[in-house]
Chains A and B, each alone.
Chain A
Amino acid sequence: MKTCTVVTVCGSGVVTSSMIALKIKEQLRDKGWDATMYEASPVSLNSVIAGKNIDVIVCASPVTEDVGIPKVKGMGMVTGMGEEKVINQIIEVLEEKYK
């Protein structure tokens, strides 16, 4: 199993980011990626990523700041419409980084 590190972001860094983190972790595992998950709000994002090798940021709230890590829109994980697309975009970023 390949390993990766993912941050999920929502407004409070509590509810929505936890919701989608668990689903992303499960679905990445099905695709052969063992993900370490962190949760953040746009405000705490910089301190959460500091000192960690974060591969991708999945946003349930808009993150306008460029922190130098690829971002994927994660709303599809909340509504259930477009989940596959979110996971595929995450994997695209991972495969590009670890090719």
Chain B
Amino acid sequence: MEQAIHRELIMTGVDAKDYEDAIRQVGQLFLKNGYVKDTYIDAVVEREKVFATGLELEGISIAMPHTDIIHVNKPGVTVAKLAHPVEFEHMGEPGRKVQAEMLFMMAITNPEDQIGTIMKVLGVFQNTEALAAFKAAENEDELYEAAAKYIG
């Protein structure tokens, strides 16, 4: 299975003033490493306004911003920790807010080809041990180690 986690897509201490700022900063990881087209970040921000991606998981809230495949060059997943929580709207429940501490931003080119990656990310959302490891990671090396272990 193709590797989803890459060292260059890991970031900690993202100091964002709101969800849009968080998406733009983390989205830069994809952009500067050639994973996405220059239309991607704006498209993710716009999509987040209409279809929010905040999730309240066991012990941590996160968001998984993403957008249509036309904005993506190659698949990958960013794993980013925010310096302080940022308010996102909850997926599926308009009006409900979550204080996201992490962003799992997704770049998908073909959901059928990348179903393994998609399911691994879903797997960590439901894995309290993985979530605790992400939460405990204090720097990018530790976060990369946890992401590589639990997502691969």
A14, A23, A39, A80: the one contacting B68 at CB < 8 Å is: A14
Cross-chain contact A80 with B125 (CB below 8 angstroms)? yes
Residues of A within 8 A of B64 (CB): 15-16
CB distance from A23 to the nearest CB of B (A): 8
- Bitwise, B55-85 to A at CB < 8 A (1) or not (0) is 1111000001011110000000000000000
CB distance from B119 to the nearest CB of A (A): 6
Of the 9-residue stretches A27-35, A48-56, A59-67, A89-97, which lies at the interface with chain B? A59-67
A14, A23, A59, A79: the one contacting B111 at CB < 8 Å is: A14
Cross-chain contact A75 with B111 (CB below 8 angstroms)? no
Residues of B within 8 A of A80 (CB): 57-58, 125-126
Interface size class of B (residues with CB under 8 A): 20 to 34
| A-B CB contacts (within 8 Å), total count | 68
Residue of A with least CB distance to B128: A80
Please report which residues of chain A, range 71-95, place their CB below 8 angstroms from some CB of chain B when the two chains form the complex.
73-75, 78-81
Interface size class of A (residues with CB under 8 A): 20 to 34
Q: Does B8 contact A (CB under 8 A)?
A: no
Please report which residues of chain B, range 122-140, place their CB below 8 angstroms from some CB of chain A when the two chains form the complex.
122, 125-126
Q: Does B91 contact A (CB under 8 A)?
A: yes
Cross-chain contact A61 with B91 (CB below 8 angstroms)? yes
Known: A14-B69, A78-B91, A79-B57. 4 other contacts (CB 8 A): A11-B51, A15-B66, A78-B92, A80-B126
Taking Cβ atoms with an 8 Å cutoff, the residues of B that contact A are 47, 50-51, 53, 55-58, 64, 66-69, 91-94, 106, 108, 111-112, 115, 118-119, 121-122, 125-126
